[in-house]
């Protein structure tokens, strides 16, 4: 676990690798997560990101969402026990192969899509969703704003995702 303060938000980030390919650097994951979590306003935030293969993503997506296919990012918010306040926000599980496939299909750089998936997942951990149209509009506008601030293009210009 590494604690970094890249964007003014101290973040304890635990990146777990269950994948044997290339992924972004820890500092990139941290910057992207901090950019999304700045909305939270806590002094310290803890987050785990697990990078997985297709099989693990598919199993988790099946077990937790009833969908028997791999997906780009799964978000598991942490709920504090009654009377106890912890800085843990939750866990993200990102399937590296799906991110790579989607980046290619959407004609984006892998780095841009990794950034989008981390930000998208973190916003889910903060309680944002995209089931209803008005929720989707709000969440997508936040994603666009955050990604633009980080120097990335609008992720929804040509997006076709694997149903996060």
Going by the annotation, the residues of the binding site for Zn(2+) are 120, 124, 130
Question: CA separation (Å) from 99 to 79, 87, 105, 124?
Answer: 27, 28, 10, 17
The annotated binding site is made up of 120, 124, 130
């Amino acid at each position: 676990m590494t604690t970094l303060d890249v964007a003014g938000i101290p973040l304890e980030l635990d990146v777990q690798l269950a994948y044997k390919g290339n992924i972004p650097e820890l500092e990139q994951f941290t910057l992207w997560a901090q950019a999304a979590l700045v909305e939270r306003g806590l002094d310290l935030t803890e987050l785990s990101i697990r990078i997985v293969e297709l099989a693990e993503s598919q199993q988790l997506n099946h077990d937790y969402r009833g969908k028997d296919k791999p997906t780009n990012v799964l978000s598991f918010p942490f709920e504090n026990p009654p009377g106890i306040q912890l800085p843990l926000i939750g866990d993200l599980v990102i399937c590296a192969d799906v991110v790579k496939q989607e980046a290619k299909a959407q004609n984006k750089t892998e780095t841009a899509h990794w950034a989008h998936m981390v930000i998208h997942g973190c916003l889910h951990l903060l309680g944002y969703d995209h089931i209803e149209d008005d929720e989707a509009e709000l969440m997508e506008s936040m994603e666009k704003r955050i990604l633009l601030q980080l120097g990335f293009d609008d992720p929804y210009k040509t997006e076709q995702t694997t149903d996060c």
